[in-house]
Structure formats: C-alpha cells, structure tokens
C-alpha cells in the first residue's frame, strides 16, 4: 500500500495535504475514513469532491436531495473522483421564523468554512429552496474552489378543481378570497395538498426558480438546470453529469471566480428582467458580487434591466408555471431569444461559452416563452427608486404591479411594525381607502430582524370586500418572489437605523413615480428634522447570541444585507494541522 508522491499532478490538489501524508498524520486522516468502507485506493490522489447537501425534512423543497446526491455521486465515481457528501445548514422558507433570510449569512459561513477546513478539491452545491442557492453560492465564492450547482428543480404543476395553481401565488390569491368571504376555509385547506403534490421547490417564477435560472445563465450549472421538474428523470441525469464534470473542472482548476464575473452578473440581471424574476435576486446578487469583490450596485439593476422585455409568461408576472416553461424549451430557449442582450462569450462550467451552449436551443411554445417581437411586457426590469423617502434606494417590480398605480399620490396609513399591522389591518375602523399608501416600518434587515417577506402587506379586509385588489405599499421588507402587487420594497436606509421611512406619519402625502424612478415624501425638510429629533432607535432584537451578531453586522439592503465582515473572497488556503 502506497500514497501518492509529493510531486506530480495530484500534489497540487488540496486533498493531497490530508490524504497523501505519511506517518501519523496520513494514518489519522485515512484510517477513520476507512471506517465508512472506503478502499485504500480512494486515497491515491484522485480529486476529492464535496457534495454540499441542504437536504432536510424541515426544508421540504429540498427533501429529495438524498436521492439527488446519489446521482451526483455516481457521476463523480464515473469520472474517477472520490465523492464525499456533507450537510450544511438548510433553510426552508415555509417553517423558519422569524424569516429564513436571518440565516442566509449563517448558512454561507457554514459552507465557506466547511469547504476550507476539509480535504475538498471541488464541490457540487445542491441548492433548492430560496435561500439555499445564495447561501451556498456566497460561501463557495468566498472559498473560491471549483464548484458546480445542481438545483433541486421545480415541483410539478398543482391542480385545484381542475385548474392549475402555482406555488405561493395561488395561496396569496386564495387567502384574499377567504378574507373577502368568497372562498371557504375548508376549500382553502383542501387546496394545500393540491398545490404541493410533488418533490421540488416553488413552481412559479418565485425566488427559487429565479435563483436556479441565475445559476444557469451565469454558467455555474450545466445547461437545463433551471427548469427540469424535480421528479423528472432528466434531473437525475443532470446531477450525474454534474458529478462527472466537477472532477474535470478540478483537473482544469476551473474555479468559481473564473466564471462568476461582472459579465455573468450582467447576464443574470438581464435574465431576471426577461423572466419577471423575484425581487429577492437583488439582495442575493449584491451579496454574491460582494463576496467576489466584483463591483455591482443597486442602480445596475435598473441600468441593465429596464429595457429588457418580459418574455417568460410565468406566474406571478404572467400565466404559466415552471413545468410549462420546461416543456417550452426552458431557460436555454429564453436565453436564445434574448440573444444579443446577453454576453454570449461568457464562460460556463462545461468549458463552452454561454452562446455555444445555446446553439441547439429552441422554443416549442411561443405563448410561454414569447418572442421579442411579442413580449408579455415591453420593459420589465426591476425599477430602482430614489427620493427623500429612500436616499439609498428602494425597488419595485413593475411586471407584478398594477400599471395604473405606477404613478400614484396618496396619504400614508402607517404601521409601526408587523404586530401593529396584524392588529389593525382588518379593523373596520381603520381610516383607509383604496387611494391610500400603506407603509410598514421596522421590517428591514436590522429592524425585524432579517428583512422578512412582509412587503406585500395585505389589503385591508373591508377594501377587499369592496373589490379592491391592489394598493401602493411601501416598506423596508422584502416580498416573496411568488407575490405580486404595487409594492415598494427594500427601502434604504431602513426605519430601524433611522432612515426617512422611520419619520413617516399617518396622513403624510407620498408620491410614487415609477416612470421617473422617484419616491417622494411630501413633508418639508424642517418638519422631517423636527421628527428626527424626536425619533429614538428601537431596542435591538437581541442582547446576545446569533441574532445579536446579525443586527450588529448586517449591511443595508442596497449592499445585499450580508455581514460587513464577510465581504470579499478569503480563498481556500490549506489551514494548519489539527494535531
Ligand atoms: Fe421553498 Fe418556495 S417555499 S422554494
Ligand atoms: Mg420565498
């Protein structure tokens, strides 16, 4: 029995520093691994591939990942690599309180440190439910080893009473029907199992599908990753092929930073616009760019995305669901249609350029993936607003808003926080009409804490009953990618740090002007100064523990709500010995 020599091809691999050692160190590193039934030949210098798994029954969108990991493992073995699966903190949207976003940065730290501290040469990132994709990308970017993403895939189309219902989007609509008295509670409960009838993440163009698409257009996955349904055998093949490819990427030293460049980020922004993708992409892309030191600012989203047409006719901005998108040709068909709006020379994980990967792409259903000559909407990118109410910016997704409200002036109805909102929103005595602007404070990164998806405040019940379906809403919160409405989000600076949002009072006039990208509070500077003098910061959410770390270090939304001490790549230099 031998170990690889100190010189040679395998000596440059990180795993060499563990598994090729002689003496006590090598013994220690290999012996306990052999307890898992691994033959000695696994330590012959072959690339060691981590399978970073976010499987969890508490993250139901990722609950099929143990099977997915097995397919990755087969591919790694096929290419002569040594696969080692490991868990990281998984984040499920539907159960985590106060919000999964509170834990995105924590999960990213788990990933980064796991990659660096272990004998890994490359990694396959298994991403699915919303936050798992940015968390894994942020961590992998900071460690910067060869990495490839395999997404879990969208769930199959759900049907309720013969009609397709989309994840999240249908829930918001039906919940309003219940509150308006047009749908019964029992019917609403019956819809639960119809909406979620298979493995996979949200099947609307919510945050999970948006992030999976971003991964694909940025070249971080094999082509087709975004749309293959979770239970479809072709996703297992994609996982297998990704396992095979990562071994080659390690041999080529094709690291994340070679692919995830400013060019890739620009492609991502344009694609999000064409998809009518989630507003959450904004904070996640800003955070990912920050990890790589690639310059990206909030205004880039507007500058690069505003003139991009909405081509994907997918909920919540459109009509169809991810299964329809897949059958229509998936993301490659949409990217081919975008054509010259993208940097087609961008490199991708399979060694080919984005353009080369699109050579055979075809659209099979021009209703689902519209041609540029007949878009769902002419210009669909996320709009970045500024003004005295949002000096550091706020965003709105015009494709999910009511066109007639994109220019609107109304009096503010202010909620101090989410408890106040829940206590009063359905109060028949609430002084509100359809022209009012609903304002929610203290739901930003530090204020909530964790910047939850509360920005699409419910329409007051008495207005719903009167047939009102949309109103202008403004907050420092986020909104679910499956939600819709004329909703201004991510207002920065947030109320809890004394942003102007903190100073808004009932009956103030607020003017939203999306065409001119402005958000103005019609209150004089003197009056605002007087209010500021009376304002005091809310008590921080926690005196100790992780939440304390979070509120002390989280950046504002326009910087991606990452921790200030996590920006930048720290690489994967091999740490000193443990013994
Ligand atoms: Fe997991 Fe939507 S709840 S992706
Ligand atoms: Mg979500």
Give the pLDDT confidence of 375-423 residue by residue, as tens digits: 999 988 999 999 999 999 999 999 889 999 999 999 999 999 999 999 9
Whether 279 and 392 share a structural domain: no
Whether 479 and 503 share a structural domain: yes
CATH number at residue 114: 3.40.50.2300
Q: Could you tell which of 152, 202, 203, 316 is best to mutate to test the pocket of ligand 1, judged by most ligand atoms within 8 Å of the CB?
A: 202
Q: What is the mean pLDDT of the chain?
A: 96
Ligand 1 center–CA 82 separation, angstroms: 31
Q: Could you tell which of 62, 63, 103, 208 is best to mutate to test the pocket of ligand 1, judged by most ligand atoms within 8 Å of the CB?
A: 208
421 in any annotated domain: yes
Give the per-residue pLDDT at 474. Answer: 98
Q: Could you tell which of 167, 321, 478 is best to mutate to test the pocket of ligand 1, judged by most ligand atoms within 8 Å of the CB?
A: 167
**What is the Cα–Cα distance from 276 to 258, expressed in whole angstroms?**
28
Ligand 2 center–CA 74 separation, angstroms: 32
> How sure is the predictor about 496, in pLDDT bands with cuts at 50, 70 and 90?
very high
Whether 332 and 390 share a structural domain: no
Ligand 2 center–CA 451 separation, angstroms: 12
Atom of ligand 1 nearest to the CA of 208: 4
Q: Is the model's pLDDT at 1 over the cut of 90?
A: no
261 in any annotated domain: yes
Ligand 1 center–CA 204 separation, angstroms: 10
Asked which of 197, 216, 251 is the last residue of a domain, the reply is 197
571 in any annotated domain: no
Ligand 1 center–CA 302 separation, angstroms: 26
Q: Is the model's pLDDT at 533 over the cut of 90?
A: yes
Mean pLDDT computed over 519-541: 95
The alpha-carbon radius of gyration of the chain (Å, integer) is: 24
Whether 228 and 293 share a structural domain: yes
Mean pLDDT computed over 258-284: 97
**What is the Cα–Cα distance from 208 to 280, expressed in whole angstroms?**
10
Give the per-residue pLDDT at 188. Answer: 96
List the one residue out of 173, 206, 170 whose CA is nearest residue 314: 206
What are the E-state strand segments in 376-425?
383-387, 390-396, 407-415
**What is the Cα–Cα distance from 549 to 274, expressed in whole angstroms?**
37
Ligand 1 center–CA 394 separation, angstroms: 24
Give the per-residue pLDDT at 379. Answer: 86
CA dihedral 95, 99, 101, 107 (to 10 degrees): -50
Cα–Cα distances (Å) from 111 to 139, 400, 474, in that order, read 5, 33, 34
Angle at 335 (CA atoms; ends 329, 339), nearest 5 degrees? 130
Per the structure block, which two tokens stand in for 192?
């639960």
Whether 255 and 211 share a structural domain: yes
Task: Among the bound ligands, name the one nearest to the CA of residue 202.
Answer: 1
The sheet that has 437-440: what strands, in order across it? 390-396, 383-387, 518-521, 509-513, 407-415, 437-440, 472-475, 487-488
List the one residue out of 155, 290, 119 whose CA is nearest residue 231: 155
Give the per-residue pLDDT at 144. Answer: 97
Residue 66 has φ and ψ, to the nearest 5°, of -65, -40
H-helix or E-strand containing 247? helix 233-252
CA 23, distance to chain mean position in Å, is 46
**What is the Cα–Cα distance from 128 to 209, expressed in whole angstroms?**
8
Query: What tens digit of pLDDT does each residue of 172-197 get?
Result: 999 989 988 999 999 999 999 999 99
Per the structure block, which two tokens stand in for 250?
């390690």
Instruction: Indicate the number of domains in the chain.
Output: 4
Q: Could you tell which of 54, 57, 59, 61 is best to mutate to test the pocket of ligand 1, judged by most ligand atoms within 8 Å of the CB?
A: 61
Atom of ligand 1 nearest to the CA of 92: 1
- What is the crossing angle of helices 207-217 and 330-338, to 10°? 60
Query: What tens digit of pLDDT does each residue of 110-132 get?
Result: 999 999 999 999 999 999 999 99
Query: What tens digit of pLDDT does each residue of 52-95 get?
Result: 999 999 999 999 999 999 999 999 999 999 999 999 999 999 99
In contact, 157 and 218? CB cutoff 8 Å: no
Whether 66 and 111 share a structural domain: yes
Q: Is the peptide bond before 449 cis (omega within 30 degrees of 0)?
A: yes
Mean pLDDT computed over 270-280: 96
CA dihedral 70, 74, 79, 82 (to 10 degrees): 50
Ligand 1 center–CA 167 separation, angstroms: 8
Q: Is the model's pLDDT at 8 over the cut of 90?
A: no
525 in any annotated domain: yes
Whether 430 and 346 share a structural domain: no
Atom of ligand 1 nearest to the CA of 94: 3
Whether 459 and 420 share a structural domain: yes
209 in any annotated domain: yes
What are the E-state strand segments in 88-207?
122-127, 147-151, 158-160, 163-165
Q: Is the CA virtual torsion 321, 327, 328, 331 positive or negative?
A: positive
Whether 144 and 261 share a structural domain: yes
Query: What tens digit of pLDDT does each residue of 340-377 get?
Result: 999 999 999 999 999 999 999 999 999 999 999 999 99
Query: What tens digit of pLDDT does each residue of 217-252 get?
Result: 999 999 999 999 999 999 999 999 999 999 999 999
Whether 149 and 207 share a structural domain: yes
573 in any annotated domain: no
**What is the Cα–Cα distance from 190 to 160, expressed in whole angstroms?**
8
Of the two residues 5 and 526, the one the predictor is more confident about is 526
Whether 76 and 128 share a structural domain: yes
370 in any annotated domain: no
Where b means 16+ CB within 10 Å and e means fewer, 318-355 reads bebbbbbbbebbbbbbbbbbbeebbbbebbbbbeebbb
Mean pLDDT computed over 266-290: 97
Ligand 1 center–CA 431 separation, angstroms: 35
Whether 329 and 471 share a structural domain: no
DSSP character for 382?
P
* DSSP β-bridge partners for residue 451: none
Atom of ligand 1 nearest to the CA of 62: 1
> How sure is the predictor about 146, in pLDDT bands with cuts at 50, 70 and 90?
very high
The percentage of residues in the chain with a pLDDT greater than 90, rounded to a whole number, is 94
User: Which residues form the domain of 189?
Assistant: 157-197
CATH number at residue 435: 3.50.30.80
Ligand 2 center–CA 381 separation, angstroms: 19
Task: Among the bound ligands, name the one nearest to the CA of residue 456.
Answer: 2
Cα–Cα distances (Å) from 405 to 358, 364, 471, 513, in that order, read 38, 35, 7, 9
Q: Is the model's pLDDT at 166 over the cut of 90?
A: yes
500 in any annotated domain: yes
| ipTM summary value | 0.94
Ligand 1 center–CA 208 separation, angstroms: 6
Task: Among the bound ligands, name the one nearest to the CA of residue 453.
Answer: 2
Q: Is the model's pLDDT at 499 over the cut of 90?
A: yes
Question: Which residue's C-alpha comes closest to atom 1 of ligand 1?
Answer: 129
The percentage of residues in the chain with a pLDDT greater than 70, rounded to a whole number, is 100
Q: Which residues line ligand 1 (CB under 6 A)?
A: 61, 93-94, 129-130, 167, 201-202, 206, 208
Per the structure block, which two tokens stand in for 542?
């926690």
Atom of ligand 1 nearest to the CA of 61: 1
Q: Is the model's pLDDT at 4 over the cut of 90?
A: no
Ligand 1 center–CA 94 separation, angstroms: 7
H-helix or E-strand containing 83? strand 82-87
Q: Could you tell which of 54, 170, 201 is best to mutate to test the pocket of ligand 1, judged by most ligand atoms within 8 Å of the CB?
A: 201
Atom of ligand 1 nearest to the CA of 60: 1
Does the global pTM surpass 0.90?
A: yes
């Amino acid at each position: 029995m031998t170990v690889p020599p100190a010189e040679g091809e395998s000596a440059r691999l990180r795993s060499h520093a563990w598994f090729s050692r002689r003496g006590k160190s090598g013994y220690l590193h290999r012996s306990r691994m052999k307890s898992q039934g691994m033959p000695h030949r696994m330590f012959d210098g072959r690339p060691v591939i981590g399978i970073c798994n976010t499987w969890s029954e508490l993250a139901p969108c990722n609950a099929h990942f143990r099977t997915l990991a097995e397919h990755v493992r087969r591919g790694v073995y096929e290419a002569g690599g040594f696969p080692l699966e490991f868990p990281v903190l998984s984040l499920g949207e539907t159960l985590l309180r106060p919000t999964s976003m509170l834990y995105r940065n924590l999960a990213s730290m788990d990933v980064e440190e796991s990659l660096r501290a272990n004998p890994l040469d490359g990694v396959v990132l298994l991403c699915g439910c919303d936050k798992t994709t940015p968390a894994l990308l942020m961590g992998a970017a900071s460690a910067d080893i060869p990495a490839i993403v395999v997404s879990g895939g969208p769930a199959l189309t759900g049907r309720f009473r013969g009609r397709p219902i989309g994840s999240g989007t249908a829930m918001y609509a039906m919940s309003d029907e219940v509150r308006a008295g047009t749908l019964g509670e029992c019917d609403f409960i019956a819809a639960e199992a119809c909406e979620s009838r298979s493995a996979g993440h949200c099947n609307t163009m919510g945050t999970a599908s948006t992030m999976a698409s971003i991964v694909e257009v940025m070249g971080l996955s094999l082509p087709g990753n975004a749309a293959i349904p979770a239970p479809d055998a072709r996703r297992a093949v994609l996982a297998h092929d990704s396992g095979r490819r990562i071994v080659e990427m390690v041999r080529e030293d094709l690291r994340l930073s070679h692919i995830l460049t400013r060019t890739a980020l620009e492609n991502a922004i344009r694609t999000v616009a064409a998809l009518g993708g989630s507003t959450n992409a904004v904070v996640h892309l800003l955070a990912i760019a920050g990890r790589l030191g690639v310059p990206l600012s909030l205004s880039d989203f507007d500058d690069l995305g505003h003139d991009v047409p909405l081509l994907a006719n997918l909920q919540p901005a459109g009509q169809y669901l991810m299964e329809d998108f897949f059958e229509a040709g998936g993301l490659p068909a949409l990217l081919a249609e975008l054509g010259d709006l993208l940097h087609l020379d961008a490199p991708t994980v399979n060694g080919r350029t984005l353009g080369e990967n699109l050579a055979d792409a075809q659209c099979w259903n021009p209703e689902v993936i519209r041609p540029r000559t007949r878009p769902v909407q002419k210009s669909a990118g996320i709009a970045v607003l500024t003004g005295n109410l949002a000096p550091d910016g706020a965003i709105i997704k015009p494709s999910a808003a009511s066109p007639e409200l994109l220019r609107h002036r109304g009096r503010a109805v202010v909620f101090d926080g989410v408890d106040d909102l829940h206590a009063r929103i359905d109060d028949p005595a609430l002084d509100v009409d359809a022209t009012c602007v609903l304002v929610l404070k203290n739901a930003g990164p530090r204020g909530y804490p964790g910047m939850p998806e509360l920005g699409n405040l419910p329409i007051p019940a008495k207005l719903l009953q009167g047939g009102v379906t949309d109103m202008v809403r403004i907050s420092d919160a986020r909104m679910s990618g499956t939600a819709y409405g004329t909703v201004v989000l991510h207002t920065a600076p947030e109320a809890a740090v004394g942003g102007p949002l903190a100073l808004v009072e009932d009956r103030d006039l607020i003017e939203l002007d999306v065409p001119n990208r402005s958000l103005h509070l019609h209150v004089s500077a003197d009056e605002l100064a007087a209010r500021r003098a009376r304002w005091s910061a809310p008590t921080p959410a926690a005196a100790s523990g992780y939440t304390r770390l979070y509120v002390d270090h989280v950046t504002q939304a326009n910087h991606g709500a990452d921790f200030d001490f996590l920006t930048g790549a720290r690489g994967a230099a091999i740490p000193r010995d443990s013994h």
